[in-house]
Amino acid sequence: MALQRLLELLLHCIPLMRAAKATLAARGAHRVLNVVVTLLQAHHPLSHW
């Protein structure tokens, strides 16, 4: 009985964990992109950036 509830809880947590991972990945990519743009600005000051 307790094992079944634990499995149910785990099944509920998996989509949440996936969503959290996706969110973190998106944030990480956004951060990396910001850093790259900042570095490009520092090395190549362009007006359209």
Query: What's the pTM?
Result: 0.53
Amino acid at residue number 12: H
CA–CA distance, 33 with 36 (Å, rounded to integer): 5
DSSP character string of 7-46: HHHHHHHHHHHHHHHHHHHHHHHHHHHHHHHHHHHHHS--
- For 1-49, how does the pLDDT look when each residue is reduced to its tens digit (9 = 90+)? 799 999 999 899 899 999 999 999 999 999 999 999 998 888 766 655 4
